[in-house]
Structure 1
């Protein structure tokens, strides 16, 4: 399992893993931005920091597979 992860990481850093790395970067940035906005918004409403982090992580975790559903590998 670690060997597969290591091999995939090497291909990713060499630029040979993804067909369209720009799409992957854009969709990932959108997901991260959503998580940060949600984190700041929930904290602004006075929720506990632990609750805020947990809720924003759960929502971001649910959204990322939908954002990255069309990622194509080489």
Structure 2
């Protein structure tokens, strides 16, 4: 398992893992932005901070599979 992770990391840093790296960066940025907006809007409420963090993490985690459904690797 460690070898697979190491090989993937080496290919990623060489630029040979992703077919369309800009698509991956764009979709990831959209997901991060949605999570950040939800966190900042929920953090304004008078509730403990762990609740907005949990909710925004669930939103971001649920959104990423839809954003990266067309993601292709080499």
Per the TM superposition, whether the score is higher than 0.5 is: yes
Residue number in structure 1 paired with 2:72 = 72
Residue number in structure 2 paired with 1:27 = 27
1:41-65 per-residue CA deviation (whole Å, 9 max, x = no partner) reads 0011233200010110011111101
Shift of the alpha carbon at 1:3? 1.2
Root-mean-square deviation (CA, aligned residues, Å) is 0.8
Residue number in structure 1 paired with 2:59 = 59
Runs of 4 or more, structure 1, over 2 Å off, are: none
Aligned length: 74
Structure 1 regions of 5+ residues with no counterpart?
none
TM-score (norm 2): 0.94
TM-score (norm 1): 0.94
1:19-62 per-residue CA deviation (whole Å, 9 max, x = no partner) reads 10000000000000111000000011233200010110011111
